[in-house]
Amino acid sequence: GIVGASVTILGIMAAKTMNRSGYDVRLAAGTITAGGTLGILIPPSIMLVVMGPVLEVPVTDLFAAAIIPGIMMAFLYAVYAVGRCMINPELGPPLAIEDRAANMGEIVREFILGLVPPALLVFSALGSIMFGLATPTEGAGCGAAGALLLTLAYRRMTFKKFREALIKTLEISALILILVAASNFFGAVFSRLGTPTMLTELLLGLDLPPMVLLIMIMALIFLLGWPLEWVPIVLIIVPILLPLIEQLGFNLVWFGILVAVNLQTAWLSPPVALSAYFLKGVVPEWDLKDIYIGMMQFMVIQLFGLILIMVFPQIALWLPGYIYGE
Helices (H), 233-313: 238-248, 252-266, 274-282, 288-311
92: left (phi over 0), alpha (psi -120 to 50) or beta: beta
For residue 272, with 0-12 CB atoms within 10 Å meaning exposed, 13-18 middle and 19 or more buried, which class applies?
middle
User: Does residue 139 sit within a domain?
Assistant: no
Per the domain annotation, does 144 fall within a domain?
A: no
CB 275 within 8 A of CB 238: no
The upper half-sphere exposure of residue 23, i.e. CA atoms within 13 Å in the direction of its Cβ, equals 26
- DSSP output for 18-42: HHHHT--HHHHHHHHHHHHHGGGTS
Residues in Cβ contact with 100 at an 8 Å cutoff, skipping those fewer than 6 apart: none
pTM assigned to the model: 0.81
Q: What pLDDT is stored for residue 89 in this prediction? A: 86
Note whether residue 152 is domain-resident: no
Q: How far apart are CA 235 and CA 230, in angstroms?
A: 8
CB of 28 within 8 A of CB of 18?
yes
**Distance separating alpha carbons of residues 18 and 14, to the nearest angstrom:** 6
Does 126 fall in a domain?
A: no
Q: How many CA atoms lie within 13 A of 147 on its CB side?
A: 12
Is residue 233 helix, strand or coil? helix
Using an 8 Å Cβ cutoff, are 57 and 256 in contact? yes
Check residue 201 and give its pLDDT. Answer: 79
Distance CA 259, CA 293 (A): 24
Angle, CA 41 vertex, CA 146 and CA 249 arms, to 5°: 130
What string of pLDDT tens digits covers the 326 residues of the chain?
Answer: 567 778 888 888 888 888 888 889 999 999 999 988 888 888 878 889 889 989 999 988 999 999 999 999 999 999 999 999 999 988 888 776 666 666 777 778 777 777 788 888 878 877 787 777 888 778 878 888 888 888 888 888 888 888 988 888 888 778 767 867 776 777 677 677 776 677 777 777 788 899 999 999 998 888 887 777 787 888 888 888 888 899 889 999 999 999 999 988 877 877 767 788 888 888 889 998 999 999 988 989 999 999 999 999 999 999 999 888 76
How far apart CA 165 and CA 155 sit, in angstroms, is 16
pLDDT at 15: 86
Instruction: Find, among 277, 271, 301, the residue nearest to 291 by Cα.
Output: 277
Spatial CA neighbour of 255 closest among 280, 238, 267:
238
Sign of CA dihedral 30, 31, 32, 36: positive
Number of domains in the chain: 1
Supply the range of the domain harboring residue 289: 3-100+183-324
Structural element, H or E, at residue 325: none
